[in-house]
């Protein structure tokens, strides 16, 4: 049967899902029907993860159980720490995360993905251990010791503590928790799809998540948040923005952190992240990057008006992480720590009605060519 070829599968549905929904014309994002604005204002990352994974908002006792399960599974085995110690310190943390997550699967080798209880514990381990792996690599690569997690701290407090061995200010952990909520899920994006392709072969969840981590790394997806901060630093002051953007656009280069396959208006997550920036800067002092970012948004939206290009989730998140003292290469791993909830929610959903992904192609080559001996070519 002939089909139209849709580059990038744009507009082609790849699954039926009730995990989340985006209205790209109105700029609305909902997780299980609840708007992200409301979740950011009222929920926590772990409650949102439970909502994504299991459906309705959890009862207090279900939430306590889930948070307790996550909390006691934060530790990583000393062999995983040893593995991280063997990685080159100049390597990209997303590669370290991908390698460590793939290795985790070797320690928890349940292959039967129809075993619901085993799947629950795999999801718990993955959500619990990703921050510990990220923080361990951040410290080990700069020559410091790995700091084990603390059970008395919340998810976000504990992550910031494992990075610095200091108790973070309350506003830091609250802002980080909201950032994690905003990054937890976003319908059929490239990393979710990559994970689903792997999951469709009935591979184990550690392999699924390591596939997703690989897809998230690229600069057209999660990796854009690093490039935004580098660009803002390169521009330096608001007065230099217009000339910089005009030069980039003249050279047909993309401006990182802008544009989206689905949103034709400003990404609602970018708007919430701006509010979080302002809250953080009010309590902890301004960031010079923010003034430059505001001017980039203003000028870029004007220059790219016809193409409906606006800030996406990666535009303001890096400015927050930079203010929290997190090195640039760790911005995308933080994205992964949150998005693992969405990846696993899609995995749970997919297992109920799995079909191996095996798309078609439009063959554009030749047929019946003769094999020419090498001396005659
Ligand atoms: N800067 C300049 N021009 C842009 C940008 C941008 N950031 N984004 C889109 N455009 C232009 C394109 O050049 C293109 O123009 P043309 O029609 O004259 O060729 C038009 O808008 C359509 O853009 P496409 O790249 O074809 O649209 P697509 O849906 O494939 O792109 C994408 C989406 C990849 C995100 C793109 O906007 C981009 O590269 N942005 C920069 C990278 C980025 O921020 N990625 C993070 C996305 S959010 C996330 O994944 C978490």
Give tens-digit pLDDT for 168-182. 999 999 999 999 999
Q: Is residue 368 part of a domain?
A: no
Residue 204 is a catalytic residue: no
Cα dihedral value 207, 188, 326, 82, nearest 10: 0
Question: Which whole-number Å values give the CA distances from 220 to 4, 255, 314, 317, in the listed order?
Answer: 24, 11, 10, 15
**Cβ-contact 278, 320 below 8 angstroms:** no
Domain count, the chain: 2
What's the alpha-carbon Rg for the chain, to the nearest Å?
22
Q: Which domain holds residue 197?
A: 45-170+178-220+336-351
Average model confidence (pLDDT) across the chain: 96
Q: Return the pLDDT at 109.
A: 82
Q: Domain check: are 130 and 116 in the same one?
A: yes
Nearest CA residue ID for atom 13, ligand 1: 254
360 falls within a domain:
no
Instruction: For residues 194 and 304, state if they share a domain.
Output: no
Examine the domain organization and report whether 52 and 166 are in the same domain: yes
Ligand 1, pocket-test mutation among 9, 213, 254, most atoms within 8 A of CB: 254
How close is the Cα of 235 to the center of ligand 1, in Å? 20
Whether residue 160 contacts residue 176, with contact meaning beta carbons closer than 8 Å, is answered with yes
Measured from CB, residues less than 6 Å from any atom of ligand 1 are 8, 189, 220-222, 224, 254-261, 304, 307, 309, 312-314
Decide if 92 is catalytic: no
Rounded Cα–Cα distance for residues 202 and 356 (Å)? 8
How far does the centroid of ligand 1 lie from the alpha carbon of residue 257, in Å?
A: 9
Task: State pLDDT tens for residues 307-366.
Answer: 989 999 999 999 999 999 999 999 999 999 999 999 999 999 999 999 999 999 999 999
Set 260, 310, 322, 346: catalytic member:
260
| CATH number of the domain residue 89 falls in | 1.10.580.10
Q: Is residue 110 part of a domain?
A: yes
Find the mean pLDDT for residues 41-52.
Answer: 98
What's the pLDDT score for residue 223? 86
**Is residue 1 scored above 70 in pLDDT?**
no
Please write the tens of the pLDDT for every residue from 251-284: 999 999 999 989 999 999 999 999 999 999 999 9
Structural contact between residues 113 and 351, judged by C-beta atoms closer than 8 angstroms: yes
Residue 187 near residue 279, CB atoms below 8 Å: no
| Measured distance CA(156)–CA(174) in Å, rounded | 7
- How far from 31 is each of 178, 187, 249, 345, CA to CA, in Å? 14, 9, 35, 11
């Amino acid at each position: 049967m002939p089909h139209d070829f849709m580059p990038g599968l744009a507009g082609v549905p790849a699954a039926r899902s009730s995990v989340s929904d985006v209205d790209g014309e109105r700029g609305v994002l909902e997780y299980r029907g609840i708007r992200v604005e409301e979740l950011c204002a009222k929920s926590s990352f772990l409650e949102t993860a439970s909502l994504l994974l299991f459906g309705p908002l959890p009862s207090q006792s279900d939430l306590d159980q889930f948070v307790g399960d996550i909390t006691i599974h934060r530790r990583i085995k000393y062999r995983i720490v040893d593995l991280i110690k063997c990685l080159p310190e100049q390597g990209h943390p997303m590669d370290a995360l991908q390698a460590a997550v793939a290795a985790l699967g070797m320690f928890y080798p349940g292959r039967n993905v129809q075993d619901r209880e085993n799947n629950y514990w795999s999801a718990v381990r993955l959500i619990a251990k990703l921050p510990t792996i990220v923080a361990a690599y951040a410290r080990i690569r700069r020559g410091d010791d790995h700091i084990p997690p603390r059970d008395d701290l919340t998810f976000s407090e504990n992550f910031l503590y494992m990075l610095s061995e200091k108790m973070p200010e309350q506003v830091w952990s609250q802002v980080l928790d909201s950032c994690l909520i905003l990054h937890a899920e976003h319908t059929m994006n490239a990393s979710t799809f990559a994970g689903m392709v792997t999951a469709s072969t009935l591979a184990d969840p550690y392999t699924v998540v390591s596939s997703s981590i690989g897809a998230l790394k690229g600069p057209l997806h999660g990796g854009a948040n690093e490039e935004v901060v580098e660009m803002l630093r390169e521009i330096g002051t608001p007065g230099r923005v217009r000339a910089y953007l005009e030069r980039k656009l003249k050279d047909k280069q993309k401006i990182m952190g802008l544009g989206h396959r689905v949103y034709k208006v400003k990404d609602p997550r970018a708007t919430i992240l701006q509010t979080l920036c302002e809250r953080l800067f009010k309590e902890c002092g301004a960031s010079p990057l923010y003034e430059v970012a505001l001017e980039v948004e203003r000028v870029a939206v004007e220059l790219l008006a016809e193409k409906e290009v606006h800030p996406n989730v990666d535009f303001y998140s890096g400015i927050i992480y930079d203010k929290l003292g997190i090195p640039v290469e760790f911005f995308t791993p933080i994205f992964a720590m949150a998005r693992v909830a969405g990846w696993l929610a899609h995995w749970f959903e997919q297992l109920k009605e799995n079909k191996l992904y095996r798309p078609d192609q439009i063959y554009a080559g030749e047929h019946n060519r003769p094999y020419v001996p090498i001396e005659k070519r």
